[in-house]
A and B are shown apart, each in its own frame.
Chain A
Amino acid sequence: MGISPIQYRPWKGERSAQNLRVYVIFRSVINHGMKSPGVIILLVIGFFIVFAFPLISVVFAPHERLEASDMNSSLDSLILAIFALLLAAVVTSDLISEDLSSNSFVLYFSRALKSRDYIAGKTGGALLLMSLLCLIPPLLIAVTATLTQSGNDYWHSLTVIGRTIGAGALATVFYVPYGIMMSSFTRRKSYAAVGTFMSFFVLTIIAEVFAGFAQGWRIISPIDSLSYSFDWIFGEALPSFINKGALAALITLFIVLPSVVVYVKITRQAVGK
């Protein structure tokens, strides 16, 4: 007697609403990131090098209140910028390049998923991972400093916490769109990662060269422009050669332009172009 083949069985369950499918991609990016040794190493080492000492010092050193300058110095460090850039390169490098190399866009877009949901899920996951280095640790320091302060000026400390959230959010958002754009340009995640890292440094070198003629050119360096933005957010004086309008425009450009490029590329991929 032969074995009967397995027959097709219908599925009787209920589906979630279409606008909730974005969370599936979001979760997948986070799960993938949290299993990646590179991401974990960067998060752990970055935290210990950049934030461990300030965290210990706010616990043990007596302080009247949380000062904006202390939080600015925590966030406005070259080491954090380098770790954030490395983390962004690792987190974003395979977000789109892997789907490009495997031609798997068709699997996503033959389902009830819009290209903007696909991008939102991928970007949201990457932002959450970035926030583990750029937003959560400084916020932890700020909250700890407020809880352990000796003075009563909590309003001032809460204002600094608000500014810290703003600066941390900017640091979180700043590198991700560019990294995702690089990932959408290539089928190899190594190219995307190196491309993200190197292009920021190339811009920094170019800024250094042009700064020899006029200091204002420094804002085309992404790392410098982020540093000036932190000064601005924490209420510190900006150098006279920095135009606030130009700085705001450039920061917006760094975030918006790559996002638009990615949206256009993914929308074209969705229809198989």
Chain B
Amino acid sequence: MPRISDASVRELTSDHPLEAQRVTVRFGQVTALDGFTASIPRESVGLLGPNGAGKSTFIKASLGLLQPEAGSILVGGLDSRSQSLRIRDNVGYMPEHDCLISSLNAVELVSYMAQISGMTPRDAMQRGHEVLDFVGLGEERYRLIKSYSTGMKQRVKLAQAIVHDPSLLFLDEPTSGMDPQGREEMLDLIRRIGLADKTVVVSSHILQEVERVCDYIVIISNGRLIRAGKTQSLVAGEEGVHTLTVRGDVRAIESYVRSMEEICNVLERKNEGDMQASLLVSGCEDGKAIFRLASERGIQIRSYRPEKLDLEEVFLRSFEGESKDGN
């Protein structure tokens, strides 16, 4: 029986297994991807963007299900236009929507999909049970899928995506509809898959979850790359930007802020009650002056530290006209 080579597997384990170059995809008058360019590294990657940003279109175009009007997508060095079948053999996809064949049980479905991915019936059955064990589906695996809860269906969707041991995995809203405990378990599964030297692309609206499992973030809006970079560097904020929290009389705080504006750039001010304010400052070369001015006005400095953001702030700021690479 003819077998396929594992060359594409090796290619998918390169440092950047997924590269998009000026990709444009249009549906009639609607431009879903507009010159989108991104290089996805071999780690857990969060694909973020508002509804209609182009995340799903990018995934479908990467799988070769959609033909870009312009530009190219290379998956493990293979062109998504002309080599889509070779690409798909080494890619797993967990769709967001309900897609499981409800008249089958989990074992039948997962082993059937494994066979369509090229496994022998015997291998497919063995591997099917193995991945169902991995995703935590016990004896329920012999029940018809139509009787499953949403959480169980999400697990089966993940199992069918990993059954053929893909090198690149697209997970579209993997925790959708799951309860808090189920979410935790799903995130743990994603983390464990990522540790197995896979590229895992997680498309999600829940930014806290993405921040917890992804090492790299790609933010898309209106079909364009808005921001990309290591999660750590994105949430670290800009170099030289500090958060200063001060406490004191309202007038004293006002006076202090005015004097600070003479020696630094005060980027943002947030009042935290009547007696406390938080300033986002940059360009403060003379650190001692900050403390001296505070002392002169009877102000307490509660903290002064480099800016630290959460992913939600990074996401929101990305839509305030910023467009830069966080690497």
- B97 / chain A contacts, CB cutoff of 8 Å: 103, 106
Total B residues in contact with A, Cβ cutoff 8 Å: 46
Give the docked Cα–Cα distance between A28 and B1 (Å). 20
> What is the 8 Å Cβ interface bit string for chain A, positions 1-20, against chain B (1 contact, 0 not)?
00001111111011111101
- A16 pairs with B88, CB closer than 8 A: no
- B4 pairs with A107, CB closer than 8 A: no
Q: Is A63 an interface residue (CB 8 A)?
A: no
Interface stretch of the complex, out of B58-66, B236-244, B253-261, B313-321: B58-66
> What is the 8 Å Cβ interface bit string for chain A, positions 104-115, against chain B (1 contact, 0 not)?
101111111110
> From residue B261, how far is it (CB to closest CB) to chain A in Å?
53
> What is the 8 Å Cβ interface bit string for chain B, positions 1-32, against chain A (1 contact, 0 not)?
11110000000000000000000000000000
- B89 pairs with A15, CB closer than 8 A: yes
- B127 / chain A contacts, CB cutoff of 8 Å: 11, 13
- B112 pairs with A24, CB closer than 8 A: yes
Q: Is B165 an interface residue (CB 8 A)?
A: yes
Q: Is B101 an interface residue (CB 8 A)?
A: yes
Closest to A23 in B: B115
Cross-interface CB contact of A9 among B92, B103, B112, B130, cutoff 8 Å: B130
Closest to B89 in A: A112
- B118 pairs with A112, CB closer than 8 A: yes
> From residue B58, how far is it (CB to closest CB) to chain A in Å?
13
Q: Is A102 an interface residue (CB 8 A)?
A: yes
Closest to A113 in B: B116
Task: Tell me what chain A mostly uses at the interface: helix, strand, loop, or mixed.
Answer: loop
Cross-interface CB contact of A16 among B2, B95, B130, B196, cutoff 8 Å: B2
Q: Is B324 an interface residue (CB 8 A)?
A: no
- B3 pairs with A24, CB closer than 8 A: no
B interface residues with partner A (beta carbon < 8 Å): 1-4, 60, 63, 65-66, 85-86, 88-89, 91-93, 95, 97-103, 112-113, 115-120, 123, 127, 130, 133-134, 160, 162, 164-165, 188, 192-193, 195-196, 198
Closest to A105 in B: B99
**Assuming A6-B133, A8-B195, A15-B3, is B99 touching A111 (CB within 8 A)?**
no
Total A residues in contact with B, Cβ cutoff 8 Å: 36
Q: Using A16-B120, A112-B89 as known contacts, list a sample of 8 further A-B pairs with CB atoms less than 8 Å apart, ordered by residue number in A.
A: A5-B188, A7-B134, A11-B127, A13-B120, A13-B123, A109-B65, A110-B95, A272-B65
- B99 pairs with A112, CB closer than 8 A: no
10 intermolecular pairs with C-beta atoms under 8 Å apart: A5-B188, A13-B123, A13-B127, A16-B2, A16-B118, A24-B112, A102-B102, A103-B98, A110-B93, A272-B66
Give the docked Cα–Cα distance between A20 and B120 (Å). 11
Give the docked Cα–Cα distance between A204 and B134 (Å). 56
Closest to A121 in B: B116
Closest to B94 in A: A110
> From residue B269, how far is it (CB to closest CB) to chain A in Å?
46
Q: Is A271 an interface residue (CB 8 A)?
A: yes
- B165 pairs with A18, CB closer than 8 A: no
Within 8 A of B (CB), among A1-58: 5-11, 13-18, 20-21, 24-25, 28
